Amino acid sequence: MAVSYPIPEGIVGSDNRLVTVVDGSPITLYTAGAGTLQVYRVSTEIDAHAYTSGTATLTVTWTENAVSQTAIVTAGAVNVVTGIVRLAMPDAGTNITVQLTVPFVATVRIATIIERLAG
């Protein structure tokens, strides 16, 4: 049986930066639509370059079944890549945000991709 979705699947949000300071506030990458049974793949990775001190923490956040969900990756050493892939089923109208936090002295490369898989 074929399944037909009213909204096309694919990349709906991304964040690809080389950063030296924390974000002042969360950055919205995508807002989930009004439909039900939406499924997304949240892929995020961080890598420190020119590292001196601290631990850069990258957090992706959304709300699922009225509960805040997070995917967290950290960089606390030079050239150690940390990544995570999670499936998300966000509540309708939920913002999927990303924020780099925790003071650090380094240049970090961050990459986050939000892919709509179904819904």
CATH code for the domain of 70:
2.60.120.260
Look at residue 36 and tell me if it is in a domain.
yes
Q: What is the pTM of this model?
A: 0.88
User: How much is the pLDDT for 65?
Assistant: 93
State the pLDDT at residue 33: 83
- Whether 71 is covered by a domain: the verdict is yes
In eight-state DSSP terms, residue 25 is S
Mean pLDDT in consecutive groups of 10 residues from the start of the chain, 119 residues? 58 94 95 83 94 94 96 92 94 95 93 89
Indicate whether 15 belongs to any domain: yes
The reported pLDDT for the residue numbered 50 is 86
The verdict on residue 4 lying in a domain is no
Residue 35 inside a domain? The answer is yes
Query: In this structure, is residue 5 part of a structural domain?
Result: no
**3 inside domain:** no
Number of domains into which the chain is organized: 1
Domain with 24 in it: 10-118
Task: Give the pLDDT confidence score for residue 6 in this predicted structure.
Answer: 55
Residue 58 domain-assigned?
yes
Query: What count of residues does the chain have?
Result: 119
Q: How far is CA 82 from CA 57, 61, 85, 104, 109, in A?
A: 10, 17, 11, 16, 11
In a 10 Å sphere around its CB, with 0-12 CB exposed, 13-18 middle and 19+ buried, how is residue 53 labelled? exposed
